Amino acid sequence: MSLNIVNLVGRAGRDPEVRYFESGNVLCKFTIAVDRRSRNSDQPDWFNLELWGRTAEVAANYVRKGSLVGITGALKIDTWQDKASGAMRSSPVVRVDRLDLLGSRRDSEAAMPSYADDEF
C-alpha cells in the first residue's frame, strides 16, 4: 500500500501564473506560505503548487497574493537538467486536487467555498 496526500492551509505568496494550452488545458502555478506549528519558528515554509483544469481557472479568478487557501493534493518531484552547469536539479511540487478559498468575503472580491478537480 502507498499513500501520497498533502493537506496545507496557508497564504498565497504571489498572484497565480496561468497558462492556456491549445489542447484546452489550463495550468495555474503559485506558492503558499504555511506557518510551522512550533513556537520558535518565525519563518514560514513555502510550497510550490500546480493546479490543472477547472481548479486552475478558479484559482486564477479568485486567488490573489495574501489570500488564505486550503489545498489537498499529492507531492511530486519535478526534475530537470541545469542549462548552465549541466547538473540535475529537482524541486518538490504539490499537484493540487482540491482548492478551498478560506478568506472572508471582505478578504476577496467574491468568495467561493471550494472546488475539486474532476478530471482525474
Give per-residue pLDDT as tens, 42-99. Answer: 789 999 999 999 999 999 999 999 999 999 999 999 999 999 998 999 999 999 999 9
Domain-embedded: residue 109:
no
Domain-embedded: residue 83:
no
CATH assignment of the domain containing 98: 2.40.50.140
Domain-embedded: residue 120:
no
Q: Which three cell numbers stand for residue 104?
A: 472572508
Question: Rounded mean pLDDT of the chain?
Answer: 87
Domain-embedded: residue 17:
yes
Domains of the chain: total: 1
Q: What's at 104, amino acid-wise? A: S
The owner of cell 548552465 is 84
Domain-embedded: residue 55:
yes
Domain-embedded: residue 112:
no
Global confidence as pTM = 0.80
Name the residue range of residue 58's domain.
1-35+44-77+90-102
Domain-embedded: residue 107:
no
Q: What pLDDT score was predicted for residue 60?
A: 95
Domain-embedded: residue 119:
no
Q: How many residues are present in the chain?
A: 120
Q: What pLDDT score was predicted for residue 43?
A: 85
